Structure 1
Amino acid sequence: MAKTIHIAAVSIPAFSHQASIIEFCKKLLHLHHHYHVTCIFPTIDAPVAATLKLLQSLPSTIDFKFLPPVNKQDLPQDVSPAVQIQLAVSQSMPSFRDTMRSLHSTTPHLTALIADPFANEALEIGKEFNLLSYIYFPPSAMTLSLFLHLPKLHEEVSCEYRDLTEPIQIPGCIPIQGQDLPEHFQDRSSLAYDLILKRCKRFSLADGFLVNSFLELEEGTVKALQEQNRGNRGENRGNRGKNRGNRDSPVFLVGPVIQTGPSSEPKGSESEYCVRWLENQIPKSVLYVSFGSGGTLSQEQMNELAFGLELSGQKFLWVVRAPSDSANAAYLGVGNEDPLKFLPSGFIERTKGQGLVIPSWAPQTQILSHSSIGGFLTHCGWNSVLESIVLGVPMITWPLFAEQRMNAVLLTDGVKVALRPKFDENGIVKREEIAVVVKGLMQGEEGNGIHHRIEVLKEAAADALKEDGSSTRALSQFGNQIENFLALK
């Protein structure tokens, strides 16, 4: 019987990241039966409720620990939730070190650490215990390439990235306008940018990167990353890098990793009703509209979206959240206000035969997999993007925050499986534009081409996860690197 290999994995206090690393750990253990994983979660105020539900269905080979909570009121209140999360993670590092010391003293001892990119201070602690240290990267390989390239880009560019007249060339990726870089890159004097830059410089501590993507989706990017890392890692790691297993493949595309366990929310009348409603619709006739677990629209934009959907004449299922002037206001929790009261007067009555509005939450994978769904208007969070690809649903991109603009560029200009509406000079998508784009995806000739390409990508995603698929092979190579490390100890 193979010796048990114990790995620690640390995430951040955000459900999308925690759900992704939990699903990755389940996938890892399905392939490597002698592994044992302890998931470690920093918290703000209290554990994420949706994560607690996911943890109820873990196999016995996955343990979890919540670090002592950071009080949200002790964090700066004038910064974005993403910055608050990073600061909370930093404050949690002393308790993380204590937890690692406790785990390392047990049998079997820890062998490796896997860290979220926004918790990569943990890599420094991993080195204190002589562990192999990896970054599990929930977003795309394109975003990883940007993060690895940022220190160089920072030195080469003196102005704000959004002011550049020429597109930015990220290694292995399609050119991208500066305004489409992640939101925290847009003000180089901000705390948010300073934190990102420091984290990107810390990436050199990683012995490898586990990326939630697949070869057929981002082949050019991963080849560029592998070539870049072959040239750089020896310089960064010094003599200690000599014991590091497979040096030729430090980037492992192990996706698509999407949630496959029980729903993160309890079944209720609303979620059951929306599925029953879909049963009465024509195949591929319904546009699903959702902005993820944290995205919010302003009141003005919410009104325009409502009128645009109505004007399109297309069937829709819309998950509505209360409006906010902050695009990620719901990222650290949803308020108690009834979101339906913010819709335009008479909207629900006028569209009763055309659409269905669900407040706050709906069973997304169950909806996307339904035969009635013919399109997905999405905020382009990477989890949602991968779910849409795996289930073969064409997209309309509506990025709100984080790296979502980059994802939109990849989907529309790269693999061409989505349409992107135009925002006006005030950052609003008008109702007429919404109606045109929705009809274009659901009925137009361009939409037909997108439907064909997403089916091809769906098959490629399924192939990547097969026993001999590219992602399964990458996960095996990751395991080989750990085994080689142990053999040399």
Structure 2
Amino acid sequence: MADNSKLQIAMFPWLAFGHMIPWLELAKLIAQKGHKIFFISTPRNIDRLPRLPQNLASMIQFVKISLPHVDNLRENAEATIDLPYDEVKYLKQSFDCLEEPMAKLLQSLAPDWLLFDFAAYWLPARARELDIPSGFFSIFTAATLGYFGPSSVLINDSGDHLKTPEDYTRVPSWVSFPTTISYRLFEARKVFDILISDESNVSHGYRFGQSLKGCDIVAVRSCMEFEPEWLKLLEQLHRKPVIPVGQLPTTTGDGDSDAETDTWRSIKEWLDEQEKGSVVYVAFGSEAKPSQEELTEIALGLELSKLPFFWVLKKRLGQADTEPIELPDGFEERTRGRGVVYTSWAPQLAILAHDSVGGFLTHAGWSSVVEALQFGMPLIVLTCYADQGLNAKLLEEKQIVELIPRDEGDGFFTRNSVAESLRLVLVEEKGQIYRDKAKEMKGLFGDKGRHDRYVDNFLNYLKNHRCLRKGEEINTTV
């Protein structure tokens, strides 16, 4: 007899590892509770995802769907990391050709629910034809979604809102409470081109707008303790249930390979030799890369700070990146013994958890933020693109991070401002507020039981909705 208390959920994230990894974390949390997950992506992306814990392998079924051929898309390019920034539009074109294959796949899988990402704006209507309810799952904070406003604004059919980069530097009119959250002008200029449409593609704004308009519920990587006013605003803007699923702190896979163990052993030996709370950890995520000019100022700022540092440096982002960045001449020689530059994979969670690390210089990608705050790690921020500017302002508003001072127009910053910000957060008395706030946030972001309860609440909603549709008795057991 079938267990009617268990769900079958299809998950379809956008083809970027900054999306797929938190989606997989949510999948694992749901699978731990006995529910079946169909995790849908392309073959190469699925093969590159972290290994599942052995106890969950039977509950998460990876379903491979091949990208259709489109002109100008590079061979074997299946994720944003496989392409230069200006070629991601071809990946979107191929992705949009998945509408019919996805409809057929959903018909064969017949899940109880579909969770989809912003890029698949065409999918909720197809799911509805199959009588499959859908949820838009946002890896972005509630503040980011709230800042961009109602579907009508995103779809761009409601007048003259947000028509220039300068418009993105102001708090929107639909935000009804005091806040400073908006882009700085140099950040707005970077995101403006992806938010508006061009002749060859559908804009991100339109995709978000139609996704939010077409879904039955909105699930957000957030929690009420962190941004309650933004979660309430989302319900007002979209007039549908908005359900936080917790912060989804990253977990590790099923054991470590010998190579990973050896890598951590050598890194740990160096960290063990440093004073408690003295080391700056530097990393900018899997898909963000500073420009050559920015890299030079970061490096020389680290040198000027006189602080020990461990820098995970990606000189290029994948094989398609033909413009590698290089450290300043003599930098590694001058900082030898005080700092380490690591150009291959490094275990970020283990590094952030180490007692000698006292601060994290990062780009404010939300997964990196969550990983740092779950260990009570204060942050020093240099944003690169996308939602990072809004994340940074949200964290600054809560006095959790120090933003390295930059020119508002072009984003320029100096080595001196890097050094001063690092020393402020790690050693100076004035920076004690950041260290204290980070410790306070550890109680929220590091509380796995709390985030687990958010997932319970989310699953109860999905189950109760199914019961109501099928005329079954509502059961609160997860």
Pairwise TM-score range, normalised by the shorter structure: 0.7 to 0.9
> Which residue number in structure 2 is paired with residue 242 of structure 1?
none
Match of 1:207 among 199, 216, 219: 216
> Which residue number in structure 2 is paired with residue 80 of structure 1?
86
The CA distance in 2 between the partners of 1:98 and 1:165, in whole Å, is 43
Unaligned runs of 5+ in 1: 105-109, 234-249, 324-329
> Which residue number in structure 1 is paired with residue 28 of structure 2?
26
Q: Which stretch has the larger CA shift, 454-463 or 165-174?
A: 165-174
TM-superposed CA distance for 1:168, in Å, is 2.9
1:306 and 1:347 in contact (8 A); partners too: yes
The 3 A distance-change label for structure 1 pair 92 and 147 is farther
2:309 and 2:339 in contact (8 A); partners too: yes
The 3 A distance-change label for structure 1 pair 113 and 188 is closer
TM-superposed CA distance for 1:261, in Å, is 2.5
TM-superposed CA distance for 1:127, in Å, is 1.0
> Which residue number in structure 2 is paired with residue 168 of structure 1?
172
TM-superposed CA distance for 1:176, in Å, is 3.2
Q: Which stretch has the larger CA shift, 288-297 or 183-192?
A: 183-192
Aligned counterparts, 1:223-302, within 5 A: 223-229=232-238, 232-233=239-240, 250-262=241-253, 267=260, 269-302=262-295
> Which residue number in structure 2 is paired with residue 326 of structure 1?
none
Match of 2:420 among 416, 422, 436: 436
> Which residue number in structure 2 is paired with residue 132 of structure 1?
133
The 3 A distance-change label for structure 1 pair 15 and 177 is closer
1:187 and 1:193 in contact (8 A); partners too: no
The CA distance in 2 between the partners of 1:40 and 1:280, in whole Å, is 44
2:29 and 2:455 in contact (8 A); partners too: no
1:285 and 1:315 in contact (8 A); partners too: yes
> Which residue number in structure 2 is paired with residue 384 of structure 1?
368
| 2:326 is equivalent to residue 322 of structure 1 | no
The CA distance in 1 between the partners of 2:42 and 2:232, in whole Å, is 33
1:214 and 1:461 in contact (8 A); partners too: no
The 3 A distance-change label for structure 1 pair 357 and 57 is farther
2:14 and 2:118 in contact (8 A); partners too: no
> Which residue number in structure 1 is paired with residue 37 of structure 2?
37
The CA distance in 2 between the partners of 1:267 and 1:78, in whole Å, is 28
Aligned counterparts, 1:105-120, within 5 A: 110-120=111-121
The CA distance in 1 between the partners of 2:348 and 2:447, in whole Å, is 23
The CA distance in 2 between the partners of 1:220 and 1:286, in whole Å, is 35
Unaligned runs of 5+ in 2: 75-82, 474-478
Match of 1:408 among 380, 392, 401: 392
> Which residue number in structure 1 is paired with residue 330 of structure 2?
346
> Which residue number in structure 1 is paired with residue 9 of structure 2?
7
Match of 1:457 among 441, 450, 463: 441
User: Counterpart of 1:400 in 2: which secondary structure?
Assistant: coil
1:394 and 1:451 in contact (8 A); partners too: yes
User: What fraction of aligned residue pairs are identical, expressed as a percent?
Assistant: 27
> Which residue number in structure 2 is paired with residue 483 of structure 1?
467
The CA distance in 1 between the partners of 2:146 and 2:123, in whole Å, is 21
2:84 and 2:321 in contact (8 A); partners too: no
TM-superposed CA distance for 1:164, in Å, is 6.6
TM-superposed CA distance for 1:26, in Å, is 1.4
1:213 and 1:256 in contact (8 A); partners too: yes
> Which residue number in structure 1 is paired with residue 298 of structure 2?
305
User: Counterpart of 2:62 in 1: which secondary structure?
Assistant: strand
> Which residue number in structure 2 is paired with residue 93 of structure 1?
99
Match of 1:221 among 226, 230, 238: 230
> Which residue number in structure 2 is paired with residue 419 of structure 1?
402
The CA distance in 1 between the partners of 2:70 and 2:377, in whole Å, is 38
Q: Deviations over 1:112-160 (max 9, x none)?
A: 1011122232212211210110011111111222344363374242640
User: Counterpart of 1:47 in 2: which secondary structure?
Assistant: helix
Q: Which TM-score applies when normalising by structure 1?
A: 0.83
User: Counterpart of 2:310 in 1: which secondary structure?
Assistant: strand
TM-superposed CA distance for 1:201, in Å, is 2.7
TM-superposed CA distance for 1:471, in Å, is 5.5
Letter in 2 for 1:19: I
The 3 A distance-change label for structure 1 pair 172 and 158 is closer
TM-superposed CA distance for 1:452, in Å, is 1.0
Q: Deviations over 1:69-120 (max 9, x none)?
A: 345863398863554443332122222222222213xxxxx21101112223
User: Counterpart of 1:171 in 2: which secondary structure?
Assistant: coil
Q: Which TM-score applies when normalising by structure 2?
A: 0.84
